[in-house]
Protein backbone atom coordinates (compact mmCIF):
# COMPACT_ATOMS: atom_id res chain seq x y z
CA UNK A 1 0.00 0.00 0.00
CA UNK A 2 1.35 3.42 -0.95
CA UNK A 3 1.75 5.72 2.00
CA UNK A 4 0.80 8.86 0.08
CA UNK A 5 -1.37 9.25 -3.03
CA UNK A 6 -1.38 12.38 -5.14
CA UNK A 7 -4.81 13.73 -6.03
CA UNK A 8 -5.16 14.48 -9.75
CA UNK A 9 -8.81 13.77 -10.60
CA UNK A 10 -11.95 14.02 -8.46
CA UNK A 11 -15.58 12.95 -8.71
CA UNK A 12 -18.12 15.13 -6.87
CA UNK A 13 -21.77 14.12 -6.37
CA UNK A 14 -23.51 15.67 -3.36
CA UNK A 15 -27.02 16.40 -2.14
CA UNK A 16 -25.79 18.53 0.77
CA UNK A 17 -23.85 21.30 -0.95
CA UNK A 18 -22.49 22.86 2.24
CA UNK A 19 -19.02 24.28 1.49
CA UNK A 20 -18.83 22.34 -1.78
CA UNK A 21 -17.84 25.50 -3.67
CA UNK A 22 -14.93 26.09 -1.31
CA UNK A 23 -13.43 22.67 -1.80
CA UNK A 24 -14.16 22.73 -5.55
CA UNK A 25 -12.39 26.07 -5.95
CA UNK A 26 -9.42 24.69 -4.05
CA UNK A 27 -9.26 21.62 -6.31
CA UNK A 28 -9.34 23.79 -9.43
CA UNK A 29 -6.62 26.02 -7.99
CA UNK A 30 -4.44 22.91 -7.68
CA UNK A 31 -5.17 21.95 -11.31
CA UNK A 32 -7.22 18.94 -10.26
CA UNK A 33 -9.88 17.83 -12.76
CA UNK A 34 -13.44 17.55 -11.48
CA UNK A 35 -16.13 15.19 -12.81
CA UNK A 36 -19.75 15.54 -11.79
CA UNK A 37 -23.33 14.76 -12.79
CA UNK A 38 -26.95 15.80 -12.29
CA UNK A 39 -27.71 18.61 -9.87
CA UNK A 40 -24.13 18.83 -8.62
CA UNK A 41 -22.79 19.36 -12.14
CA UNK A 42 -25.38 22.08 -12.75
CA UNK A 43 -24.62 23.78 -9.42
CA UNK A 44 -20.87 23.82 -10.00
CA UNK A 45 -21.30 25.03 -13.59
CA UNK A 46 -23.59 27.87 -12.50
CA UNK A 47 -20.93 28.96 -10.03
CA UNK A 48 -18.21 29.07 -12.67
CA UNK A 49 -16.40 25.91 -11.55
CA UNK A 50 -14.66 24.11 -14.39
CA UNK A 51 -16.21 20.64 -14.36
CA UNK A 52 -16.49 17.62 -16.69
CA UNK A 53 -19.97 16.19 -17.10
CA UNK A 54 -20.07 12.47 -16.35
CA UNK A 55 -22.48 11.65 -19.19
CA UNK A 56 -20.17 13.25 -21.78
CA UNK A 57 -17.15 11.43 -20.34
CA UNK A 58 -18.91 8.03 -20.30
CA UNK A 59 -20.79 8.73 -23.56
CA UNK A 60 -23.88 7.41 -21.75
CA UNK A 61 -26.77 9.78 -20.97
CA UNK A 62 -28.42 10.02 -17.59
CA UNK A 63 -31.52 7.84 -17.79
CA UNK A 64 -34.65 6.86 -15.88
CA UNK A 65 -35.28 10.35 -14.49
CA UNK A 66 -31.78 10.50 -13.04
CA UNK A 67 -31.92 7.10 -11.34
CA UNK A 68 -28.87 6.08 -13.38
CA UNK A 69 -26.05 8.61 -13.67
CA UNK A 70 -22.73 7.34 -12.32
CA UNK A 71 -23.37 3.59 -12.55
CA UNK A 72 -20.91 3.03 -15.39
CA UNK A 73 -17.63 1.06 -15.90
CA UNK A 74 -15.77 4.26 -16.83
CA UNK A 75 -16.60 5.65 -13.39
CA UNK A 76 -16.26 2.55 -11.23
CA UNK A 77 -13.28 1.24 -13.18
CA UNK A 78 -11.47 4.51 -12.45
CA UNK A 79 -12.29 4.16 -8.75
CA UNK A 80 -11.73 0.43 -8.19
CA UNK A 81 -8.56 -0.19 -10.20
CA UNK A 82 -5.54 -1.48 -8.26
CA UNK A 83 -2.81 0.88 -9.33
CA UNK A 84 -0.09 -1.54 -8.25
CA UNK A 85 -1.28 -4.09 -10.84
CA UNK A 86 -0.10 -3.49 -14.45
CA UNK A 87 -3.00 -5.64 -15.65
CA UNK A 88 -5.54 -3.23 -14.16
CA UNK A 89 -3.76 -0.19 -15.57
CA UNK A 90 -3.58 -1.77 -19.03
CA UNK A 91 -7.32 -2.49 -18.93
CA UNK A 92 -8.02 1.13 -18.04
CA UNK A 93 -5.83 2.34 -20.89
CA UNK A 94 -7.47 -0.06 -23.35
CA UNK A 95 -10.95 1.17 -22.36
CA UNK A 96 -9.95 4.85 -22.12
CA UNK A 97 -10.79 5.05 -18.42
CA UNK A 98 -9.29 7.77 -16.24
CA UNK A 99 -8.13 7.07 -12.69
CA UNK A 100 -10.22 8.86 -10.08
CA UNK A 101 -8.24 9.70 -6.93
CA UNK A 102 -10.90 11.51 -4.89
CA UNK A 103 -14.60 10.81 -4.43
CA UNK A 104 -16.72 13.42 -2.64
CA UNK A 105 -20.24 12.10 -2.14
CA UNK A 106 -23.11 12.54 0.30
CA UNK A 107 -26.51 10.95 0.09
CA UNK A 108 -30.16 11.77 -0.51
CA UNK A 109 -31.78 12.65 2.85
CA UNK A 110 -33.83 9.48 3.24
CA UNK A 111 -34.25 9.68 7.03
CA UNK A 112 -35.36 13.32 6.95
CA UNK A 113 -37.77 12.57 4.14
CA UNK A 114 -39.41 9.81 6.20
CA UNK A 115 -39.43 11.99 9.34
CA UNK A 116 -41.19 14.81 7.47
CA UNK A 117 -44.05 12.36 6.74
CA UNK A 118 -43.53 12.59 3.01
CA UNK A 119 -45.44 10.38 0.64
CA UNK A 120 -44.45 6.79 -0.03
CA UNK A 121 -43.31 7.79 -3.50
CA UNK A 122 -41.04 10.56 -2.16
CA UNK A 123 -39.51 8.21 0.38
CA UNK A 124 -38.75 5.63 -2.31
CA UNK A 125 -37.17 8.24 -4.58
CA UNK A 126 -34.93 9.38 -1.70
CA UNK A 127 -33.32 5.97 -1.46
CA UNK A 128 -29.92 6.74 -2.93
CA UNK A 129 -28.41 4.07 -5.18
CA UNK A 130 -25.52 5.68 -7.02
CA UNK A 131 -24.21 7.50 -3.97
CA UNK A 132 -23.74 4.47 -1.70
CA UNK A 133 -22.26 2.54 -4.63
CA UNK A 134 -19.66 5.24 -5.24
CA UNK A 135 -18.87 5.48 -1.54
CA UNK A 136 -18.46 1.73 -1.13
CA UNK A 137 -16.24 1.46 -4.21
CA UNK A 138 -13.98 4.34 -3.16
CA UNK A 139 -13.78 3.23 0.49
CA UNK A 140 -13.01 -0.35 -0.54
CA UNK A 141 -10.11 0.92 -2.63
CA UNK A 142 -8.80 3.30 0.06
CA UNK A 143 -5.29 2.04 -0.75
CA UNK A 144 -5.44 4.38 -3.72
CA UNK A 145 -8.59 6.51 -3.41
CA UNK A 146 -9.67 9.16 -0.90
CA UNK A 147 -13.37 9.23 0.09
CA UNK A 148 -15.13 12.19 1.73
CA UNK A 149 -18.77 11.89 2.82
CA UNK A 150 -19.07 14.71 5.37
CA UNK A 151 -18.60 18.45 4.68
CA UNK A 152 -16.97 18.74 8.11
CA UNK A 153 -13.95 16.90 6.69
CA UNK A 154 -13.35 19.27 3.77
CA UNK A 155 -11.06 21.64 5.61
CA UNK A 156 -8.95 18.86 7.11
CA UNK A 157 -8.51 17.45 3.62
CA UNK A 158 -7.53 20.86 2.23
CA UNK A 159 -5.01 21.41 5.02
CA UNK A 160 -3.32 18.07 4.36
CA UNK A 161 -3.26 18.72 0.61
CA UNK A 162 -1.54 22.06 1.19
CA UNK A 163 0.94 20.56 3.61
CA UNK A 164 1.84 17.55 1.44
CA UNK A 165 1.70 19.04 -2.07
CA UNK A 166 -1.65 17.47 -3.02
CA UNK A 167 -0.84 14.10 -1.43
CA UNK A 168 -3.11 12.35 1.09
CA UNK A 169 -1.64 9.93 3.63
CA UNK A 170 -2.61 6.30 4.09
CA UNK A 171 -3.76 7.09 7.64
CA UNK A 172 -6.18 9.78 6.45
CA UNK A 173 -7.48 7.62 3.61
CA UNK A 174 -8.25 4.81 6.07
CA UNK A 175 -9.93 7.16 8.56
CA UNK A 176 -12.13 8.62 5.82
CA UNK A 177 -12.93 5.15 4.43
CA UNK A 178 -14.02 4.02 7.90
CA UNK A 179 -16.33 7.03 8.19
CA UNK A 180 -17.67 6.29 4.72
CA UNK A 181 -18.58 2.68 5.48
CA UNK A 182 -20.21 3.79 8.75
CA UNK A 183 -22.25 6.34 6.82
CA UNK A 184 -23.47 3.75 4.31
CA UNK A 185 -24.25 1.15 6.97
CA UNK A 186 -26.38 3.62 8.94
CA UNK A 187 -28.10 4.71 5.74
CA UNK A 188 -28.95 1.09 4.88
CA UNK A 189 -30.24 0.49 8.41
CA UNK A 190 -32.57 3.48 8.09
CA UNK A 191 -33.99 2.01 4.91
CA UNK A 192 -34.23 -1.50 6.36
CA UNK A 193 -36.08 -0.24 9.44
CA UNK A 194 -38.50 1.75 7.28
CA UNK A 195 -39.24 -1.23 5.03
CA UNK A 196 -39.81 -3.41 8.10
CA UNK A 197 -42.21 -0.81 9.48
CA UNK A 198 -44.27 -0.32 6.32
CA UNK A 199 -44.29 -4.07 5.74
CA UNK A 200 -45.33 -4.73 9.37
CA UNK A 201 -42.53 -7.29 9.58
CA UNK A 202 -42.52 -8.40 13.19
CA UNK A 203 -39.80 -10.98 12.55
CA UNK A 204 -37.23 -8.34 11.61
CA UNK A 205 -33.68 -8.42 12.86
CA UNK A 206 -32.79 -6.15 15.73
CA UNK A 207 -30.89 -3.20 14.29
CA UNK A 208 -29.52 -0.34 16.35
CA UNK A 209 -27.62 2.77 15.35
CA UNK A 210 -25.52 4.60 17.86
CA UNK A 211 -22.87 7.26 17.91
CA UNK A 212 -20.46 7.85 20.75
CA UNK A 213 -21.21 11.15 22.45
CA UNK A 214 -18.85 11.08 25.39
CA UNK A 215 -16.50 8.74 27.20
CA UNK A 216 -17.33 8.50 30.89
CA UNK A 217 -14.76 8.45 33.68
CA UNK A 218 -15.51 4.77 34.21
CA UNK A 219 -18.41 2.34 34.46
CA UNK A 220 -20.00 0.95 37.60
CA UNK A 221 -16.48 0.55 39.02
CA UNK A 222 -13.17 2.32 38.28
CA UNK A 223 -11.70 -0.62 36.35
CA UNK A 224 -14.63 -0.71 33.92
CA UNK A 225 -14.66 1.48 30.80
CA UNK A 226 -17.87 3.24 29.81
CA UNK A 227 -19.30 5.78 27.38
CA UNK A 228 -22.59 7.38 26.35
CA UNK A 229 -23.85 6.45 22.89
CA UNK A 230 -26.73 8.30 21.27
CA UNK A 231 -29.33 6.31 19.36
CA UNK A 232 -29.07 7.90 15.91
CA UNK A 233 -32.00 5.94 14.49
CA UNK A 234 -34.41 8.31 16.27
CA UNK A 235 -35.01 11.63 14.52
CA UNK A 236 -36.35 14.76 16.21
CA UNK A 237 -36.77 12.96 19.53
CA UNK A 238 -38.30 15.64 21.75
CA UNK A 239 -37.83 13.44 24.80
CA UNK A 240 -34.14 12.74 24.22
CA UNK A 241 -31.94 12.24 27.28
CA UNK A 242 -29.65 14.89 25.78
CA UNK A 243 -32.33 17.59 26.03
CA UNK A 244 -31.88 17.99 29.77
CA UNK A 245 -30.03 21.09 31.00
CA UNK A 246 -27.08 20.58 33.32
CA UNK A 247 -26.77 23.78 35.33
CA UNK A 248 -23.77 22.99 37.49
CA UNK A 249 -21.58 20.24 38.92
CA UNK A 250 -19.10 17.58 37.92
CA UNK A 251 -19.55 15.32 34.92
CA UNK A 252 -22.22 12.64 35.02
CA UNK A 253 -20.99 9.13 35.74
CA UNK A 254 -22.33 5.77 34.54
CA UNK A 255 -23.99 5.20 37.94
CA UNK A 256 -25.43 8.74 38.00
CA UNK A 257 -27.19 8.18 34.67
CA UNK A 258 -28.46 4.74 35.66
CA UNK A 259 -29.82 6.07 38.96
CA UNK A 260 -31.41 9.10 37.32
CA UNK A 261 -33.25 6.93 34.86
CA UNK A 262 -34.85 4.89 37.63
CA UNK A 263 -35.90 7.97 39.61
CA UNK A 264 -37.20 9.98 36.69
CA UNK A 265 -39.26 7.08 35.34
CA UNK A 266 -40.87 6.55 38.74
CA UNK A 267 -41.61 10.28 39.16
CA UNK A 268 -43.16 10.36 35.70
CA UNK A 269 -45.28 7.31 36.44
CA UNK A 270 -46.61 8.84 39.67
CA UNK A 271 -47.57 11.81 37.47
CA UNK A 272 -48.25 14.09 40.45
CA UNK A 273 -46.07 16.52 42.41
CA UNK A 274 -43.71 14.19 44.25
CA UNK A 275 -40.14 13.63 45.41
CA UNK A 276 -38.20 10.46 44.69
CA UNK A 277 -34.88 9.69 46.38
CA UNK A 278 -32.75 7.10 44.60
CA UNK A 279 -29.71 5.19 45.84
CA UNK A 280 -28.01 2.56 43.68
CA UNK A 281 -30.98 2.51 41.28
CA UNK A 282 -33.40 1.70 44.14
CA UNK A 283 -35.91 4.14 45.62
CA UNK A 284 -34.97 4.82 49.24
CA UNK A 285 -37.87 7.19 49.80
CA UNK A 286 -40.90 8.44 47.84
CA UNK A 287 -43.62 10.90 48.74
CA UNK A 288 -46.50 12.42 46.80
CA UNK A 289 -47.58 15.86 48.02
CA UNK A 290 -48.49 19.20 46.42
CA UNK A 291 -46.18 20.77 49.00
CA UNK A 292 -42.84 19.59 47.64
CA UNK A 293 -40.93 20.66 50.74
CA UNK A 294 -43.11 18.35 52.83
CA UNK A 295 -42.80 15.64 50.17
CA UNK A 296 -39.01 15.83 50.39
CA UNK A 297 -39.02 15.67 54.21
CA UNK A 298 -41.27 12.58 54.19
CA UNK A 299 -39.27 10.85 51.42
CA UNK A 300 -36.03 11.60 53.29
CA UNK A 301 -37.41 10.26 56.57
CA UNK A 302 -38.18 6.89 54.97
CA UNK A 303 -34.45 6.12 54.98
CA UNK A 304 -32.20 9.07 55.89
CA UNK A 305 -29.12 6.83 56.01
CA UNK A 306 -29.52 5.73 52.40
CA UNK A 307 -30.47 9.25 51.27
CA UNK A 308 -26.88 10.35 52.01
CA UNK A 309 -25.13 10.55 48.63
CA UNK A 310 -28.37 9.83 46.80
CA UNK A 311 -30.15 11.42 43.88
CA UNK A 312 -33.18 13.68 44.41
CA UNK A 313 -35.84 13.76 41.69
CA UNK A 314 -38.45 16.51 42.11
CA UNK A 315 -41.54 16.22 39.94
CA UNK A 316 -42.16 19.95 40.08
CA UNK A 317 -40.29 23.17 40.79
CA UNK A 318 -37.39 23.52 43.23
CA UNK A 319 -37.63 26.76 45.22
CA UNK A 320 -35.27 28.27 47.81
CA UNK A 321 -36.97 26.59 50.80
CA UNK A 322 -36.64 23.15 49.22
CA UNK A 323 -33.06 23.89 48.17
CA UNK A 324 -32.12 24.85 51.75
CA UNK A 325 -33.62 21.63 53.09
CA UNK A 326 -31.90 19.45 50.50
CA UNK A 327 -28.59 21.22 51.20
CA UNK A 328 -28.62 19.99 54.81
CA UNK A 329 -27.29 16.63 53.63
CA UNK A 330 -24.85 15.46 50.96
CA UNK A 331 -26.52 14.46 47.69
CA UNK A 332 -25.03 13.69 44.27
CA UNK A 333 -27.72 15.10 41.98
CA UNK A 334 -30.86 17.23 42.16
CA UNK A 335 -33.23 17.04 39.19
CA UNK A 336 -36.27 19.31 38.88
CA UNK A 337 -38.75 20.54 36.27
CA UNK A 338 -37.66 24.09 37.08
CA UNK A 339 -35.11 25.40 39.56
CA UNK A 340 -35.54 28.96 40.81
CA UNK A 341 -32.75 31.52 40.69
CA UNK A 342 -32.66 31.61 44.49
CA UNK A 343 -32.38 27.81 44.64
CA UNK A 344 -29.53 27.86 42.13
CA UNK A 345 -27.68 30.38 44.28
CA UNK A 346 -28.09 28.13 47.32
CA UNK A 347 -26.78 25.09 45.45
CA UNK A 348 -23.77 27.02 44.06
CA UNK A 349 -21.85 26.48 47.30
CA UNK A 350 -21.96 22.72 46.59
CA UNK A 351 -19.53 22.69 43.65
CA UNK A 352 -19.68 18.92 43.09
CA UNK A 353 -23.48 18.81 43.25
CA UNK A 354 -24.95 18.12 39.81
CA UNK A 355 -27.98 20.32 39.22
CA UNK A 356 -30.30 19.46 36.34
CA UNK A 357 -33.43 20.99 34.86
CA UNK A 358 -35.66 18.95 32.58
CA UNK A 359 -39.08 19.75 31.17
CA UNK A 360 -40.09 16.10 31.09
CA UNK A 361 -38.94 12.87 32.67
CA UNK A 362 -40.16 10.88 29.66
CA UNK A 363 -36.74 11.36 28.07
CA UNK A 364 -35.50 8.52 30.28
CA UNK A 365 -38.16 6.13 28.99
CA UNK A 366 -36.65 3.43 26.74
CA UNK A 367 -38.53 1.74 23.92
CA UNK A 368 -36.49 -1.42 24.53
CA UNK A 369 -34.43 -2.74 27.41
CA UNK A 370 -31.21 -4.41 26.32
CA UNK A 371 -28.72 -6.55 28.20
CA UNK A 372 -25.66 -7.94 26.49
CA UNK A 373 -24.34 -11.48 26.66
CA UNK A 374 -21.10 -12.90 25.25
CA UNK A 375 -22.50 -13.33 21.73
CA UNK A 376 -26.13 -12.27 22.04
CA UNK A 377 -28.53 -9.69 23.42
CA UNK A 378 -31.44 -10.09 25.79
CA UNK A 379 -34.11 -7.65 24.61
CA UNK A 380 -37.46 -6.89 26.16
CA UNK A 381 -40.10 -4.19 26.09
CA UNK A 382 -40.13 -2.12 29.30
CA UNK A 383 -42.56 -2.79 32.12
CA UNK A 384 -44.94 0.09 31.40
CA UNK A 385 -47.86 -1.56 33.15
CA UNK A 386 -49.47 -0.90 36.51
CA UNK A 387 -52.83 -1.40 38.14
CA UNK A 388 -55.82 0.88 38.40
CA UNK A 389 -58.82 0.76 40.69
CA UNK A 390 -60.93 -1.10 38.14
CA UNK A 391 -58.63 -4.05 37.44
CA UNK A 392 -57.87 -5.03 41.04
CA UNK A 393 -59.44 -8.26 42.26
CA UNK A 394 -59.95 -8.36 46.01
CA UNK A 395 -59.70 -11.98 47.12
CA UNK A 396 -60.14 -11.55 50.89
CA UNK A 397 -63.18 -10.98 53.07
CA UNK A 398 -62.04 -7.46 53.79
CA UNK A 399 -62.23 -4.97 50.93
CA UNK A 400 -61.09 -1.37 50.55
CA UNK A 401 -63.07 1.76 49.78
CA UNK A 402 -62.10 3.48 46.53
CA UNK A 403 -60.40 6.38 48.30
CA UNK A 404 -58.29 3.93 50.32
CA UNK A 405 -56.84 2.27 47.23
CA UNK A 406 -54.61 5.21 46.26
CA UNK A 407 -51.88 4.26 48.74
CA UNK A 408 -52.04 0.67 47.52
CA UNK A 409 -51.52 1.76 43.92
CA UNK A 410 -48.67 4.10 44.91
CA UNK A 411 -46.99 1.19 46.71
CA UNK A 412 -47.21 -0.89 43.53
CA UNK A 413 -45.68 1.89 41.39
CA UNK A 414 -42.75 2.26 43.78
CA UNK A 415 -42.37 -1.52 43.93
CA UNK A 416 -41.86 -1.66 40.16
CA UNK A 417 -38.59 0.26 40.55
CA UNK A 418 -37.25 -1.71 43.53
CA UNK A 419 -34.88 -4.59 42.80
CA UNK A 420 -36.43 -8.03 43.35
CA UNK A 421 -37.43 -9.44 45.68
CA UNK A 422 -39.25 -6.23 46.59
CA UNK A 423 -41.63 -5.25 49.38
CA UNK A 424 -42.83 -1.65 49.81
CA UNK A 425 -44.79 -0.16 52.72
CA UNK A 426 -46.79 3.06 52.07
CA UNK A 427 -48.87 5.28 54.31
CA UNK A 428 -50.46 8.67 53.64
CA UNK A 429 -49.00 9.00 50.10
CA UNK A 430 -45.44 8.26 51.26
CA UNK A 431 -43.18 5.25 51.48
CA UNK A 432 -42.35 4.32 55.06
CA UNK A 433 -40.35 1.13 54.52
CA UNK A 434 -38.66 -0.54 51.55
CA UNK A 435 -37.15 -4.02 51.42
CA UNK A 436 -35.08 -4.51 48.26
CA UNK A 437 -32.99 -7.06 46.42
CA UNK A 438 -33.21 -10.03 48.75
CA UNK A 439 -33.02 -13.65 47.72
CA UNK A 440 -36.36 -14.37 49.39
CA UNK A 441 -39.50 -12.34 49.93
CA UNK A 442 -39.68 -12.94 53.67
CA UNK A 443 -36.36 -11.16 54.24
CA UNK A 444 -37.52 -8.19 52.15
CA UNK A 445 -40.70 -7.98 54.22
CA UNK A 446 -38.68 -8.02 57.45
CA UNK A 447 -36.11 -5.46 56.23
CA UNK A 448 -38.82 -3.04 55.08
CA UNK A 449 -40.65 -3.30 58.40
CA UNK A 450 -37.48 -2.88 60.46
CA UNK A 451 -36.55 0.28 58.56
CA UNK A 452 -40.05 1.70 59.10
CA UNK A 453 -39.84 1.12 62.87
CA UNK A 454 -36.27 2.47 63.01
CA UNK A 455 -36.85 5.74 61.17
CA UNK A 456 -40.46 6.46 62.24
CA UNK A 457 -41.83 4.61 65.27
CA UNK A 458 -42.83 1.11 66.28
CA UNK A 459 -46.51 1.74 65.47
CA UNK A 460 -46.02 3.35 62.03
CA UNK A 461 -46.91 0.17 60.13
CA UNK A 462 -50.41 -0.01 61.58
CA UNK A 463 -52.86 0.86 58.83
CA UNK A 464 -50.15 0.84 56.12
CA UNK A 465 -50.39 -0.55 52.60
CA UNK A 466 -47.99 -3.12 51.15
CA UNK A 467 -46.97 -4.01 47.61
CA UNK A 468 -45.06 -7.12 46.54
CA UNK A 469 -43.48 -7.34 43.09
CA UNK A 470 -44.40 -11.05 42.81
CA UNK A 471 -46.64 -13.61 44.47
CA UNK A 472 -46.02 -14.99 47.94
CA UNK A 473 -44.81 -18.59 47.70
CA UNK A 474 -45.69 -19.13 51.35
CA UNK A 475 -47.89 -17.29 53.87
CA UNK A 476 -44.95 -16.50 56.19
CA UNK A 477 -44.61 -12.90 54.91
CA UNK A 478 -48.26 -12.31 55.76
CA UNK A 479 -47.40 -13.10 59.38
CA UNK A 480 -44.94 -10.18 59.31
CA UNK A 481 -47.61 -7.85 57.95
CA UNK A 482 -50.26 -9.11 60.34
CA UNK A 483 -47.99 -8.65 63.35
CA UNK A 484 -47.74 -4.90 62.64
CA UNK A 485 -51.34 -4.25 61.61
CA UNK A 486 -50.93 -3.75 57.85
CA UNK A 487 -54.26 -2.74 56.30
CA UNK A 488 -53.96 -4.05 52.72
CA UNK A 489 -51.66 -5.88 50.31
CA UNK A 490 -51.36 -5.76 46.53
CA UNK A 491 -49.65 -8.65 44.75
CA UNK A 492 -49.93 -10.44 41.38
CA UNK A 493 -51.30 -13.73 42.67
CA UNK A 494 -50.70 -17.01 40.88
CA UNK A 495 -48.93 -19.07 43.53
CA UNK A 496 -49.98 -22.66 44.21
CA UNK A 497 -50.16 -21.47 47.83
CA UNK A 498 -52.60 -18.62 47.04
CA UNK A 499 -55.28 -20.32 49.10
CA UNK A 500 -53.05 -20.47 52.19
CA UNK A 501 -51.92 -16.87 51.66
CA UNK A 502 -55.51 -15.61 51.40
CA UNK A 503 -56.50 -17.62 54.47
CA UNK A 504 -53.63 -16.06 56.46
CA UNK A 505 -54.63 -12.55 55.30
CA UNK A 506 -58.20 -13.21 56.43
CA UNK A 507 -56.86 -14.31 59.81
CA UNK A 508 -55.26 -10.87 60.29
CA UNK A 509 -58.22 -9.03 58.69
CA UNK A 510 -55.95 -7.72 55.92
CA UNK A 511 -57.47 -6.77 52.56
CA UNK A 512 -55.63 -8.36 49.66
CA UNK A 513 -55.93 -7.49 45.98
CA UNK A 514 -54.58 -9.51 43.07
CA UNK A 515 -53.26 -7.38 40.21
CA UNK A 516 -52.30 -10.23 37.86
CA UNK A 517 -49.12 -8.23 37.05
CA UNK A 518 -45.66 -9.25 38.21
CA UNK A 519 -42.97 -6.56 38.42
CA UNK A 520 -39.63 -8.35 38.73
CA UNK A 521 -36.65 -6.03 38.31
CA UNK A 522 -33.14 -7.46 38.16
Residues 281-337: pLDDT tens digits? Answer: 999 999 999 999 999 999 999 999 999 999 999 999 999 999 999 999 999 999 999
**204 band by pLDDT with thresholds 50, 70 and 90:** low
Averaged pLDDT for residues 350-360: 92
pLDDT of 467 higher than 60: yes
**203 band by pLDDT with thresholds 50, 70 and 90:** low
* Contacts of residue 510, Cβ cutoff 8 Å, sequence gap at least 6: 396, 398, 478, 481, 482, 486, 487, 488, 489
pLDDT of 475 higher than 80: yes
Q: CA neighbours within 13 Å on the CB side: how many for 137?
A: 26
- β-bridge mates for residue 220, sequence order: none
**Selection from 85, 135, 88, 76 nearest residue 108 by Cα:** 135
Q: Please check whether residue 141 is in contact with residue 80, taking contact to mean a CB–CB distance below 8 angstroms.
A: yes
- Catalytic residue numbers, as ranges: 140, 280
- DSSP run (H or E) holding 466: strand 465-468
| DSSP state for residue 242 in the 8-state scheme | G
Three-state SS annotation for 272-337: CCEEEEEECCEEEEEEECCCHHHHHHHHHHHCHHHHCCEEEEEEEEECHHHHHHHCCCCEEEEEEE
Q: Domain limits of the chain?
A: 4-198, 238-364, 393-514
**How do strand 282-288 and strand 310-318 relate by DSSP bridges?**
unpaired
409 vs 56 pLDDT, higher one: 409
* Residue % of the chain over a pLDDT of 90: 66
- Look at 16-20, 51-55, 70-74 and tell me which has the smallest mean pLDDT: 70-74
The CATH classification number of 238-364 equals 3.40.140.20
Query: Helix, strand or coil for residue 148?
Result: strand
* Contacts of residue 249, Cβ cutoff 8 Å, sequence gap at least 6: 333, 351, 352, 353, 354, 355
pTM passes above 0.75: yes
Average pLDDT, the chain: 91
pLDDT of 177 higher than 70: yes
Give exposure, 347-382, as e/b (b: 16+ Cβ within 10 Å).
beebeebbbbbbeebebbbeeeeeeeeeeeeeeeee
Looking at 2.40.160.50, 2.60.40.180, 1.10.3720.10, 3.40.140.20, the CATH number of the domain 393-514 comes to 3.40.140.20
**235 band by pLDDT with thresholds 50, 70 and 90:** low
Q: pLDDT value at position 215?
A: 92
Q: Which long-range contacts (CB under 8 A, 24 or more apart) does 497-506 make?
A: 497/472, 497/473, 498/395, 498/471, 500/474, 500/475, 501/471, 501/472, 501/474, 501/475, 502/395, 502/396, 503/475, 504/475, 504/478, 504/479, 505/396, 505/478, 506/396, 506/397, 506/398
**Selection from 37, 28, 30, 35 nearest residue 6 by Cα:** 30
Q: 3-state SS of the chain: helix, strand, coil percent to 5?
A: 40, 20, 40
Q: pLDDT value at position 92?
A: 82
Domains 4-198 and 238-364 share a fold: no
In CATH, which superfamily holds the domain spanning 4-198? Answer: Methylglyoxal synthase-like domain (3.40.50.1380)
- DSSP letter for each residue of 356-374: EE-S-SGGG--SSEEEE-S
Amino acid sequence: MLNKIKIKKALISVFDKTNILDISKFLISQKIEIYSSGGTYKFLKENNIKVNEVSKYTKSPEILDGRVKTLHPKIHGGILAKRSLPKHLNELKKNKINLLDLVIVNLYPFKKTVASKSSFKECIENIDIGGPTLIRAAAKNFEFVTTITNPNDYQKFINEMKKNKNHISKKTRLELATKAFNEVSIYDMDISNWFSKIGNNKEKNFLIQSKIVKKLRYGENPKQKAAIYKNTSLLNNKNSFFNMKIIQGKELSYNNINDMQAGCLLADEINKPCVVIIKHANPSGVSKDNNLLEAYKKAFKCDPVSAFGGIIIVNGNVDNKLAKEISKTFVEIVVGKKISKEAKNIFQSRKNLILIETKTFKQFKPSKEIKSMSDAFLIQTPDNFYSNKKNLKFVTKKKLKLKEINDLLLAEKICKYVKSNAIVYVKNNSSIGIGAGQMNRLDSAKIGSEKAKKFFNKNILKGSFVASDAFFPFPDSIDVFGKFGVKAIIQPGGSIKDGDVIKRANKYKIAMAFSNMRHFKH
